[in-house]
Amino acid sequence: MYQTHKTYIKPHIKMSDLINENPTLLLLMEYFEIDYTINNKTIDQICIENKVNLSVFLIFSNLYNGFQPDKEEINTTNLDVSTIIKFLKNSHYFYKNEKFPEISQYIKKLYDNQNPEEIKRIENFFNNYFEEVLEHLNYEDEIAFPYFYQLISKETKTNKIKFSVNEYREHHTDIETKLSDLKTLLLKHISLRNDFRLKRKILNSLFELESDLSIHSMIEEKILLPLVDEIEKRKMNG
């Protein structure tokens, strides 16, 4: 069972102790492409061995433990934009190829014992929601992230790229709110007799997805956007 109290993460702390306290940090490690076999290594040791920016790792892992970064921590001196983008792209893969199929399959199984019209309502709601999520993720993968990579390239000048961080900011949407509506639908309005276990699995998956999407959005809005904005202004001013 997850502990309600979570540690503020610092470089000298052993990663295995933190995972025992908060297993969702396994997902964080996956996004950083870090092997789970960590022995008694500290955060600092793991980041050095895996060539992961320590400051980025600390800020992100503390977000997973419920701690918001200070504004002073968000700067291009300490944080590596390419590490942040790689992390977000890997989270996109998780949403598209693991969470969506998982939840979709759970919903389809409900047709066996439940009112088809009610289940179709749930299925349509989730599918329509995830279409919006996919549009958001694909926009980032195909338009925003390539621009950010170009922006941090030393050879690239902003006047050669027909895009800007403001376009991304205007396009950026809240992708986790509607998920809360689906949870409410299942918790308060739709009874799934004889499928309690399946309902629990669906809700657990929705809670996990909602939590991770919330952190995902926070990283983009509070960390990535200010960093890219800073780089863009610096390049425009020569």
- Same domain for 144 and 27, yes or no, is no
Instruction: Please give the model's pTM, rounded to 2 decimal places.
Output: 0.90
- Same domain for 169 and 196, yes or no, is yes
What single string gives the DSSP state of each residue in 134-163?
HHHHHHIIIIIHHHHHHHHSTT--GGGSS-
In a domain, 1, yes or no: no
- Same domain for 20 and 119, yes or no, is no
Backbone angles phi, psi at 173, to 5 degrees: -125, 165
**137 and 92 Cβ atoms separated by less than 8 Å:** yes
- Same domain for 146 and 218, yes or no, is yes
- Same domain for 124 and 178, yes or no, is yes
Q: What is the mean pLDDT of residues 184-213?
A: 87
Residue 131's domain comprises: 81-236
In a domain, 122, yes or no: yes
In a domain, 3, yes or no: no
In a domain, 74, yes or no: no
In a domain, 10, yes or no: no
- Same domain for 117 and 222, yes or no, is yes
> Is the per-residue pLDDT at 143 higher than 80?
yes
Q: What is the mean pLDDT of residues 175-186?
A: 80
- Same domain for 229 and 112, yes or no, is yes
Q: What is the mean pLDDT of the chain?
A: 88
- Same domain for 43 and 102, yes or no, is no
In a domain, 76, yes or no: no
**Domain count across the chain:** 2
CA separation for the pair 95, 13 (Å, rounded): 29
- Same domain for 60 and 129, yes or no, is no
> Is the per-residue pLDDT at 237 higher than 70?
yes
Per residue in 110-130, pLDDT tens? 898 888 888 898 899 999 999
- Same domain for 98 and 197, yes or no, is yes
> Is the per-residue pLDDT at 25 higher than 70?
yes
In a domain, 24, yes or no: yes
- Same domain for 231 and 155, yes or no, is yes
- Same domain for 150 and 36, yes or no, is no
Considering Cα of 97, then 101, then 214, then 137, what sign does the dihedral take? positive
